[in-house]
Amino acid sequence: MKDNKARYAAIIKKEAKDLGFLSCGIARAGFLAEEAPKLEQWLAQGRHGKMQYMENHFDKRLDPTLLVPGAKSVVSLLLNYHTQEKQRVPLAPKISSYAFGQDYHQVTKEKLKSLLRRLRDSIGEIEGRVFVDSAPVMDKAWAAKAGLGWVGKNTNLISKKTGSFFFIAEMIIDLELAYDLPVADHCGSCTACIDACPTDALTAPYQIDGSKCISYATIELKESIPETFKDKMEGWAFGCDICQTVCPWNRFASPHQEPAFQPKEELLALTAKEWEELTEETFQRVFQKSAVKRTKYLGLQRNIRFLNPLSSGGSTDD
Ligand code: B12
Ligand code: SF4
Ligand code: SF4
């Protein structure tokens, strides 16, 4: 039995690697006792802003055995989106690199489904579900428990070998497996992310006020962007990569090998003027299948209009 747990874990990790996941780690499914008071406090302080979905399913979010009956193991998987590609026009509104290519939800879900199929073929009957941002699961906490990295002062999961430019997904299954151990925190005395955050969303080490984050204002918020963000956007029109770009551990990140995440040439080449005059037709073409579609055309237009040209360093570039 003990041997099977280790053997099955090894099969899962091999298949995950084969399918292009960056890494895979496994933790025993159960109640997240350490995270529970932190999540409760975060919600009580209103740090989720208008992300009402974060208030839902509090108990299930903290315990995957309530979400997937019979769950024994949480298999965490990382999918790299790190790229050397950059938007080529310096003053153009910025899109977070995670949204350069096709929407990660679809890309990752396909890989997760293939993984589960392969495991059913090689191991046998497995009951469970796969998730990528599709259910109340605390992705970072599970990946940290499974030894894939530590949750850093910028509140992202970071690994010494691969940095933090990756998505986290899970497979929650009824199979007992050999479990991995958490790794140590390597933030040390560094505070680069806190110092660099233009909106002071990182209120203290390891703590984020989500409602102050540019990512929230440009992606999650459905109404007007509050005036408190004025002059602080640093040119970001969809998401924000600042607290990851400054993180020294991202010096060790390798570019992804996922063709679906390859940015469209047209996106990289759009000038500030073209962004400002973005039509719905161009939006649909450039962001076809992209995660940017989440804001819809009017949302992205709102973000572009909100950007103070002076805050991104000048007016137009062409
Ligand atoms: C809500 C949410 C947001 C919110 C809030 C951010 C946040 N950190 O929670 C907003 C909209 C701001 C956001 C932004 C981004 N997000 Co987001 N987001 C989520 C979501 C849906 C839930 C996260 C959550 O549960 N937050 C609740 C609070 C309680 O958790 P927390 O702040 O992480 O708190 C933990 C630690 O900080 C720690 N802690 C808290 N207090 C203290 C105190 C001490 C002393 C210590 C030691 C620890 C500690 O314990 C807490 C519980 O584990 C997850 C997907 C998922 N289902 O998990 C993606 C997720 C976290 N986001 C992701 C990404 C990529 C981003 C962005 C980089 C996107 C972008 N480029 O714009 C930014 C990064 C901003 C940032 N610095 O975190 C990835 C992160 C991947 C990674 N490497 O970690 C995730 C996992 C999505 C995914 N499936 O890949 N996001
Ligand atoms: S993503 Fe940007 S705004 Fe949000 S915490 Fe990081 S640096 Fe601050
Ligand atoms: S920038 Fe420094 S403090 Fe922030 S997450 Fe990275 S190592 Fe930790």
Q: Which atom of ligand 1 is nearest to the CA of 39?
A: 29
Which residue's alpha carbon is nearest to atom 2 within ligand 2? 240
With pLDDT > 70 as the criterion, what percentage of the chain qualifies?
96
Q: Is the CB of 229 under 6 A from ligand 3?
A: no
- Separation between Cα atoms, residue 205 and residue 173, nearest integer Å: 33
Label residue 317 by pLDDT band (50, 70, 90): very low
For the entire predicted model, the pTM comes to 0.96
Tell me, what's the pLDDT at 1?
A: 57
**Residues 147-176: pLDDT tens digits?**
999 999 999 999 999 999 999 999 999 999
Shortest-distance Cα residue to atom 7 of ligand 3: 187
Instruction: For residue range 27-62, list pLDDT tens digits in order.
Output: 999 999 999 999 999 999 999 999 999 999 999 999
pLDDT for res 133? 87
Residues with catalytic roles: 133
Q: Is the CB of 64 under 6 A from ligand 1?
A: no
Ligand 2 probe mutation, 206, 233, 240, 303, most atoms within 8 A of CB: 240
236 lines ligand 1 (CB under 6 A): no
**315 CA distance to ligand 1 centroid (A)?**
33
Residue 314's pLDDT is: 36
Cβ–ligand 1 contact at 143 (below 6 Å): no
Angle between helices 2-18 and 104-122 (to 10 degrees): 140
Q: How confident is the model at residue 309 (pLDDT cuts 50, 70, 90)?
A: low
Give pLDDT, residue 311. 35
What pLDDT does residue 308 have? 57
Q: Is 166 in the pocket of ligand 1 (CB under 6 A)?
A: yes
Position in ligand 1 atom list of the atom nearest CA 185 = 47
Q: What is the mean pLDDT of the chain?
A: 94
Is 192 close to ligand 3, i.e. is its CB under 6 Å away?
yes
> What confidence tier does 315 reach under pLDDT thresholds 50, 70, 90?
very low
If you measure from the C-alpha of residue 89 to the centroid of ligand 1, how many angstroms do you get, rounded to a whole number?
29
pLDDT at 134: 83
State which ligand 3 atom lies nearest to the alpha carbon of 156: 5
> Average pLDDT in the 190-201 region?
98
The pLDDT of residue 312 is 40
* Mean pLDDT across 138-147: 98
**214 ligand 2 Cβ < 6 A:** yes
Tell whether ligand 2 has an atom less than 6 A from the beta carbon of residue 242: yes
155 C-alpha to ligand 1 centroid (Å): 6
Considering only CA atoms, which residue is closest to atom 6 of ligand 3?
247
pLDDT in tens, 100-115: 999 999 999 999 999 9
Q: What is the pLDDT of residue 100?
A: 95
Give residue 191 CA to ligand 3 midpoint distance, Å. Answer: 6
Residues with Cβ within 8 Å of residue 104, at least 6 apart in sequence: 79, 81, 98, 132, 167, 261, 291
